[in-house]
Structures are given as C-alpha cells and as structure tokens.
A and B are shown apart, each in its own frame.
Chain A
Amino acid sequence: MRWGTFVAAIAATSIASPAFAQASNAAAKIDGADTAWMIGATGLVLTMTIPGLALFYAGMVRKKNVLATMAQSLAATFLVSILWAFVGYSLAFTGDGAVIGTLDRVFLQGMTLESISPWAKTIPEALFMIYQMTFAVITVALVAGSVADRLRFSAYLIFCALWLLIVYVPIAHWVWGGGFLGSYGLIDFAGGTVVHLNAGVAGLTAAYVVGWRRGFGHENLAPFDLTLAVIGTGLLWVGWFGFNGGSALGANSRAVFAIVATHLAASAGAFTWMVLEWWTRGKPSVLGMISGAVAGLGTITPASGFVLPMQAVLIGVIAGAICFWACTWLKIRCGYDDSLDVFGVHGIGGFTGTLLAGVFAVGALSVSPDLPAGVSGLLEGNVHQVVAQVYGVVVTLLWSGIATYLIFKAIELVVPLRVRQEDEVMGLDVSQHGEALQ
C-alpha cells in the first residue's frame, strides 16, 4: 500500500523529533516552547469567537439584528469564561470519574505557578485551563446561531449558564477529561463531538423549541452584509489553526500536521461547496464558499491530529458535499428554521468528521509513550475504532438533544424564550439592547 511507506516515514520523523523524545520522559515538566505555542493558540481560539463568530453570524442576519447577534457571542465569552473558572474547568478536567470530574479546582483553588494538569504535562495548568475555556466559549456561542433574530437576550444568558454546566462540561469530561467515552476509545482531536456535533444538535433542538422566525418561508430574510461574514470566516479559519493545532497541546510535529490537515480540509470544503452550488443553482455564491470552508473546518476538527494531508483533502470534499446537502435539502425537507445553519454545518460536519476519524486514523500520527502504536482506524484494520466513534456520536447526540430541550423548557418557566412579536419586527437591536445601526 502506498500509505504504508508514507506512514512509516512520518512515524520515523515524528519519533525522532525533540518534542516527541521529550514527551517520552513522561515526567511532568513545563516546557518553554510548548507554553509559548499554547499561549498563542489560546489567543487564536478566543479570536474565533470575538470577533470571528460575532462577525460571521452578524453578517448573515438582517440589519436590525446585527448588534443583538454580536451581543450573543460577546455574552457567551464573558459569562462562560467566568463560570469556567468558577466550576466548569474543575468538573470537566479534574479527577478520573467516568461521568463527571471533581470540585478540586473550584474557583481555581490550589492552582499554583507550578501546577500541571495530567492532560497537558508540558505546560502550566493555568494555560491548559484557559485554553480549554476558549473551547467552551465558542461552543456555547455557536448554538445561538440557530435561533438568531428571535431569542430573548435574558433567556439566552440563562441558557448559556445552564447549557455550559449541564451539557458542555459533562461531554468535555466524557471525551477529554477521563470520562467513559474517552476510556472506551473514542478519538476526538479537537472537538467533533464535544464542540461541533454538540453545538449543532443543541442548535437544532433550540430551533424546534423556539420556533420559526416571523416571516420564515415567505418574507425576505436575506443577510444584511455578507462582507462581515467573509471577514468572520477568515478569522475563524486562521483561529482554527490554534483550535486544531493547539489540541496537540505542544509545539510539535503533530500540531503542524493538524494545522496542515485543517487548512487543506477548509480549502477542499470551500471548493466543493462552490462547485456544487454553481452546478445546481447556476451561480457560485460567496455565502456558499464561506459555508463550505467552515464545513471543512468543522468536519476535520475531530480527525485533524489523526489523519494525513491528502486524507484531510478527502474529508474536506466530503464535508463540503454533505453539509451543502444538509443546508439546501435536509433543512427544507424537515422544515426547521435553523437560521444560520448551526446544525447543517457544525452538527452534520461534527458527525461526519467524528466517524471519518475512525475510518482514516493513521496510527503513526498519535504515537505516545502511553500508546506506543497510536490509534489506528478502519483503513488500518481497526474495526473497533468505528464502533467507538459511533458510540461517541450517539451519546453526544442523545445527551445534547435531550438536555438542551429540558433546559429550554425550564427557562420558559421563568422568562419567555422569544421576544414579543412587535419587538421581533422592530428588530432585536432596538428592542433588546436599545441601540441600532443607522
């Protein structure tokens, strides 16, 4: 097999690289290079939410809802960050419980300059904490896109807090923090299940519970300014280098391979969506190109540290095609108003990428002292990996869907989910925030 020689070559270089040699010491020791890269990666991932996602989403809504949409990304950033430091991090990443972590790091108590998390042995624990914080932030912010233009801001704030603690934190623990999914063998490099499938399913559930935008299906709900969305996509794309590359948790060859895979998948996704739209609808839209790029990025996420560059291109092509289908056919067929296609792009992308990671995983890329052979996928003869991926997808889907539904039903007891009809017509900028674009 052609892959065989390629893989062997990569394995040889990876093992010989200083980063891998150092990791094999297994002793926890803060490394300057790893720390420097992870500080940068943390900044990149935060940039994905503000201003990346804020611009991406705001560009796709109507002019009267631009500020309200940006407010959702902003609020997710500050609210989730505080709650993550208070309790989220501790519950997700301390202890080795199958279901949930411990309260050892509540309010970050006990975290010192010398602290090191067992999940990232070469960087300060505080850095691992804030890096993971940026993931929690963007996942919560992603969900809001499905109910843009109509969700009441107060209801959204309550949702952010509850959803972080009830949905995001447990799933992050199950997959990355020593919980039952990770132990079962699920591989999710940077958040196919934890971030994208999770946000997508929650978004779909939210769209069903909150209901259609007023005028959905018969009024013109065209985007206000797609230039904002293009700028947002650029920031997301670059930020994703920190998202996927940073998930190697060190400045090493695997981080670089993840970045290469990420960039190629984004490019292949954008190209594929453009071709399909041109072919089926006569024109290659700018919104289509950026949607394809984000689809490629979301889909490669779980696989990024496990696959080779050419496999990433293939995953990007599949992502562009399947997410195009989800946004242009499935959504209309099912009749839900997922306004900014959180499910169609992130949900379907996370689902697809998680499964494909189990198919394409190349053992040599994930070799570590604890795992001398790395994680092999179906193509390398490991059928179990696909089973583990399906298990992870099903659990995420169920927990995210059911818990999100119950959270919205609980919020509804306290405050209406939607703004009043006349406020929706007037726009959320004025009705929710008392300001407007002129």
Chain B
Amino acid sequence: MKLVIAVIKPFKLDEVREALTRIGVHGMTVTEVKGYGRQKGHMEIYRGSEYAVNFLPKLRLEVAVASAQIEQVTEALAAAAKTGQIGDGKIFVTPLDQALRIRTGETGADAL
C-alpha cells in the first residue's frame, strides 16, 4: 500500500476529488495548510507598511491506495490539480505499512 500526500491549490479540490472518485478511490483526508515553494509569497501593502506574505494557503490531501493503483492515482491527481502556473503544488508518495478499518477490523488493502 502507498500513502499519497498531495499539496494543491485550494480551488482545485473539487476537480481532484471527482478525478479520484472516477478511478475508484473512495476516501481522502483534507487539511488546510500554509506553505511556500517556488511560488514564494506576495506583497501586501497597508498604508505605509509592506508585508511579505511568505506562506500561501494550500490544501493537503492524504489518500491511501493499493500499490498496484499508485501510478493511476498520481497521474489522475496531477492532471486534475494542474493549472500550468507556478504554485500548482506537489505530490509525495510514501510506503504504507498497515491500514485498519475501525468499524469492522478489516486490515490491509481491504480496509482502504
């Protein structure tokens, strides 16, 4: 199993969710986060004061998937989240040792 962690532009959430649902991914966790990458931040000016806003709001998605499906998932996710502009975000994939559905006690890929 793999855990996909994606950081995306907030307005792309619905498209990403639809894309993943279409290929059979049935769950994800979403967190509002702030961060920076190549996009850096922007300047805000309040009367005489200029503030560099270095951390921009993003969404962090966590999706657990079966190893066999990982290529398909990352491709669909990247395609849905892409605008082509700087700041589209990143996708990280890490191994996932175990999963357990609390209600039924199922483990492994059955729990996803």
- A residues engaging B (CB < 8 A)? 60, 220-223, 281, 283, 285, 287-288, 291, 327-329, 331-332, 341, 344
Does B48 contact A328, Cβ atoms closer than 8 Å?
A: yes
- Give A220 to B55 CA distance when docked, in angstroms: 11
With most chain A CB atoms within 10 A of its CB, the pick from B48, B51, B53 is B48
Does A222 contact B47, Cβ atoms closer than 8 Å?
A: no
Does A220 contact B53, Cβ atoms closer than 8 Å?
A: yes
Ordered by A's residue number, 22 sampled pairs between the chains whose C-beta atoms are within 8 Å are A220-B51, A220-B52, A220-B53, A221-B51, A222-B44, A222-B46, A222-B49, A223-B46, A281-B45, A283-B45, A285-B45, A287-B46, A287-B47, A288-B47, A327-B47, A327-B48, A328-B48, A331-B48, A332-B48, A341-B47, A344-B47, A344-B48
Beta-carbon contacts under 8 Å, B26-49 to A: 44-49
Residue of A nearest to B54 (CB): A220
> Which residues from A are CB-within-8-Å of B48?
327-329, 331-332, 344
Residue of A nearest to B50 (CB): A281
- Give A291 to B48 CA distance when docked, in angstroms: 12
Q: How far is the CB of B20 from chain A (nearest CB, A)?
A: 33
- Give A220 to B44 CA distance when docked, in angstroms: 9
Main secondary structure of the interface of B (DSSP, over half): strand
- Give A287 to B44 CA distance when docked, in angstroms: 12
B51 touches which of A222, A329, A331 (Cβ 8 Å): A222
> Which residues from B are CB-within-8-Å of A291?
47
- Give A221 to B46 CA distance when docked, in angstroms: 9
Task: Please tell me the number of chain B residues within 8 Å of chain A, measured between CB atoms.
Answer: 9
A-B pairs with lowest CB-CB distance, top 7:
A328-B48, A220-B51, A327-B47, A327-B48, A331-B48, A222-B51, A332-B48
> Which residues from B are CB-within-8-Å of A328?
47-48
Residue of A nearest to B47 (CB): A327
Q: How far is the CB of A226 from chain B (nearest CB, A)?
A: 9
> Which residues from A are CB-within-8-Å of B47?
287-288, 291, 327-328, 341, 344
- Give A328 to B46 CA distance when docked, in angstroms: 9
> Which residues from B are CB-within-8-Å of A332?
48
With most chain B CB atoms within 10 A of its CB, the pick from A222, A283, A287, A291 is A222
Known: A220-B51, A341-B47. 14 other contacts (CB 8 A): A220-B52, A220-B53, A221-B49, A222-B44, A222-B46, A222-B49, A222-B51, A222-B53, A285-B46, A287-B46, A291-B47, A328-B47, A331-B48, A344-B48
> Which residues from A are CB-within-8-Å of B52?
220
> Which residues from B are CB-within-8-Å of A288?
47
With most chain B CB atoms within 10 A of its CB, the pick from A220, A283, A331, A341 is A220
Residue of B nearest to A223 (CB): B46
Q: How far is the CB of B52 from chain A (nearest CB, A)?
A: 8
- Give A332 to B46 CA distance when docked, in angstroms: 13
Q: How far is the CB of A282 from chain B (nearest CB, A)?
A: 9
- Give A60 to B52 CA distance when docked, in angstroms: 17
Residue of A nearest to B55 (CB): A220
The 8 A CB mask of B42-78 against A (1 = contact, 0 = none) is 0011111101110000000000000000000000000
Q: How far is the CB of A225 from chain B (nearest CB, A)?
A: 13
> Which residues from B are CB-within-8-Å of A285?
45-46
Beta-carbon contacts under 8 Å, B61-112 to A: none
Residue of A nearest to B49 (CB): A221
Residue of B nearest to A291 (CB): B47
> Which residues from A are CB-within-8-Å of B44?
222
> Which residues from A are CB-within-8-Å of B49?
221-222
- Give A288 to B46 CA distance when docked, in angstroms: 8
> Which residues from A are CB-within-8-Å of B46?
60, 222-223, 285, 287
Residue of B nearest to A217 (CB): B49
- Give A359 to B46 CA distance when docked, in angstroms: 33
- Give A341 to B47 CA distance when docked, in angstroms: 9
Residue of B nearest to A282 (CB): B45
Q: How far is the CB of A59 from chain B (nearest CB, A)?
A: 11
- Give A220 to B25 CA distance when docked, in angstroms: 40
> Which residues from A are CB-within-8-Å of B53?
220, 222
> Which residues from B are CB-within-8-Å of A281?
45
> Which residues from B are CB-within-8-Å of A60?
46
With most chain A CB atoms within 10 A of its CB, the pick from B44, B49, B52 is B49
- Give A223 to B53 CA distance when docked, in angstroms: 13
Residue of A nearest to B48 (CB): A328
> Which residues from A are CB-within-8-Å of B45?
281, 283, 285
Residue of A nearest to B53 (CB): A220
Residue of A nearest to B51 (CB): A220
> Which residues from B are CB-within-8-Å of A341?
47
Q: How far is the CB of B5 from chain A (nearest CB, A)?
A: 27
> Which residues from B are CB-within-8-Å of A287?
46-47
- Give A345 to B49 CA distance when docked, in angstroms: 15
> Which residues from A are CB-within-8-Å of B51?
220-222
Q: How far is the CB of B16 from chain A (nearest CB, A)?
A: 30
- Give A335 to B27 CA distance when docked, in angstroms: 53
- Give A344 to B46 CA distance when docked, in angstroms: 13
Residue of B nearest to A328 (CB): B48
